Amino acid sequence: MWARRHCYNQLLEHFEQKDVKWSKAAAYRHSINIIRPAFPWYNEVSSRVTRNAIDDLDNAFKHFFLRLRENKPANPKAKTFREKFGFPTFKKKGIGDSFALREKPKFSIDGRELRIEKLKTLIKMRQPVRFVGNLNQVTISQSAGKFYASILVETADYNPHAPEKESVGVDFGVKSLAVFSDGTEIPANNALQRNLKALKRKQRRLSRKQKGSNRRARAKFAVAKLHKRISDQRQAVLHELSDRLTRDYKVICLEDLNVSAMVRNRKLARPISDDGFGMLRRMIEYKAELRGVEVSFIGRFEPSSRTCSECGQIHDMPLDKRTMTCDCGNVMDRDLNAARNILARGLDTLRPDLKRTQEWRKTPSLLGAAAVTA
Ligand SMILES: [Zn+2]
């Protein structure tokens, strides 16, 4: 990372001189004849780094000359000619730090170990690659003080196949992340929940720090770091859930959590927050399309938690009541009961012409009941 920045800055130092003209070929010559011999450690980094730096600077110069030609200043108010048209500037630490390796022999991955050409040590990754297939490219980047390897995989993973199970209804629980209508329970990610709590604490602490102080800057960095960590964790959790659903079932029925703000207060405590749900929804939708799976979203007004999934009666179900107990004899976990209702309603909206399905016969009064309470 810093090698790419170093190379970029070295090149710029040479080419910003008045009588030196920029060209990619000249940049290659300069890097081979001057920069590399001057800094022997370049032998330890991949030649990709130099080429990336040259491409970056070439891009910066191209844009500068284009603005100049079309007389479109980037900063019309700037005093100097260079500033006005955005002459390439030196790269500071931490801005756009990344480089990509595209050729096969330059990197390889074995389990959780990433090998990069000319780097003697192996890099330990936090998680193994989730897909099976050809590794085409790895991009190393840095954000909030952490390094990230983004790996491009050519995969047949999404090819349509026959999922083993028919259909599923999913309820996003209060305690667990999700409960499926077949009884599968996906527990909430404890590390994520812990980090969310820690974030709240850190944010409170940040707001108390004096503006412009060093302590505030440090607290701000800590918050940014945790933010990034949480968003990564959340993404991993949602990928896992959406993968599992679209791989195992032919039809997926979900409650749409993105309804109006008015109904948002019902299950505030659930592990999948409303903003996280938007991300999950997008993941499920594109994965379902790739895998040829049907998805049905039902409105959030459906009283899925309060309706008995066996007979359709509506009951009073405050949040702390964990079990649905109905006089028809149905005794069921609250979230499982909700998941079954969601499955029935989802299938019904998906196939209104098939009202005589087994699920429908089980809940004859559900539609009528929903209309009354909504
Ligand atoms: Zn009942």
Q: Of the candidates 44, 69, 91, which is a domain's last residue?
A: 91
Q: Is residue 276 part of a domain?
A: yes
- Listing DSSP states for 314-332 in one string gives B----TT--EEE-TTS-EE
349 shares a domain with 221: yes
Cα separation, 35 vs 57, whole angstroms: 15
Tell whether 369 and 231 lie within a shared domain: yes
171 is catalytic: yes
Residues of the chain short of pLDDT 50, as ranges, are 260-264, 267, 355-374
Distance 331 CA to ligand 1 centre (A): 8
pLDDT at 323: 93
Q: Is 323 in the same domain as 209?
A: yes
Tell me which of 56, 171, 302, 348 is the catalytic residue: 171
Are residues 301 and 213 both part of a single domain? yes
Set 56, 302, 335, 359: catalytic member? 335
* Model pLDDT, residue 296: 92
Centroid of ligand 1 to alpha carbon of 257 (angstroms): 25
125 and 212 fall within a common domain: no
Residues 145 and 36 in one domain: no
Evaluate whether residue 277 is within a structural domain: yes
Answer whether residue 160 is part of any domain: no
Question: What is the domain count for the chain?
Answer: 3
Q: Ligand 1 centre and the CA of 189: distance in Å?
A: 32
Range of the domain at 171: 165-373
Q: Are residues 147 and 17 in the same domain?
A: no
**What residues have CB less than 8 Å from 116, skipping those under 6 apart?**
46, 101, 106, 107, 123, 138, 140
Q: Residue 130 falls within a domain, yes or no?
A: yes
CA of 307 from ligand 1 middle (Å) equals 8
Cα 219 to ligand 1 centroid, rounded to whole Å: 53
- Among the listed residues 56, 255, 348, 359, the single catalytic one is 255
* Dist. CA 181–CA 369, nearest whole Å: 20
pLDDT single digits (tens) 145-193: 677 777 777 766 665 566 778 899 999 877 788 999 999 999 888 888 8
Rounded-to-integer distance, Cα 241 and Cα 26, Å = 51
128 and 225: one domain? no
Using a CB cutoff of 5 Å, list residues around ligand 1, an ion. 308, 310-311, 313, 326, 328, 330
| Residue 349, pLDDT score | 85
Q: Same domain, yes or no, for 175 and 123?
A: no
**Residue 337: per-residue pLDDT:** 94
- φ, ψ (nearest 5 deg) of residue 137: -160, 145
Q: Is 335 a catalytic residue?
A: yes
Question: How remote is the CA of residue 365 from the centroid of ligand 1, in Å?
Answer: 11
pLDDT recorded at residue 242: 92
Structure confidence at residue 96 (pLDDT): 56
State whether 128 and 172 are in the same domain: no
Could you identify the residue written with the tokens 């599968």? 184
298 located within any domain:
yes
